[in-house]
Amino acid sequence: MRLPRLSSFTVIGGILIIIGVYGLIQGPNFQYDLGVHADHYEGLYYLLIGVLMIVNGFFWLPASPEEKKEQQKANNRPPL
């Protein structure tokens, strides 16, 4: 497995983990929606989805052969 890339997906996953931890500390009253009953596991849902998003950062496809050739050409250029 590779290290996760710092993309918007992993950043949002980190934010969701923070919201989930806050939700677990505050309990079912951390989110208030009119007309909707509080769910006792809502903080846990945020936490799990955040973890799933970050775990997804470990599984990304390698560069295509064309992209590898372009990267090699860029790396082999003499400095300006």
Average pLDDT of each block of 10 consecutive residues along the chain (80 residues)? 68 92 84 75 91 82 68 66
Is residue 55 one of the residues assigned to a domain? yes
Is residue 2 one of the residues assigned to a domain? no
The domain in which residue 24 lies consists of: 8-76
Distances (CA, A) of 13 to 16, 31, 41: 5, 18, 18
Report pLDDT for 77.
62
pTM given for the model:
0.64
DSSP state letters, 22-53 = HHHHHGGGSS--TT-PPPTTHHHHHHHHHHHH
Number of structural domains the chain divides into = 1
Is residue 61 one of the residues assigned to a domain? yes
